[in-house]
Amino acid sequence: MFITRSSGSATRRPSAKVARALEIHRSVMACNAHIAIDRESTHALTAALMLPCYKAEFRTLVLAMSSEEERELRYALNASCASVA
């Protein structure tokens, strides 16, 4: 589910960079969950290896975003965090 704020009340799909950043963020969260559940499992070990790669890719992508895309990403991440809580 993609939720972004636009100038009106309409909801639109996020830009390609924002959509990719949201995918990476979900991967980071999944890695953290696997590590928290069982540090000795194969999934947790794989997650521990992939986590720095995902974080670096996320950071690089955010640095390449325009200010509008950054706002769009912040809003989408806030909305997803609010729905989890």
CB 58 within 8 A of CB 29: no
What pTM value is reported for the model?
0.77
Return d(Cα 19, Cα 38) in angstroms, integer. Answer: 29
CB 20 within 8 A of CB 61: yes
pLDDT digits (tens, 9 = 90+) for 26-48: 999 999 999 999 888 898 999 99
pLDDT tens by residue, 56-71: 999 999 999 999 999 9
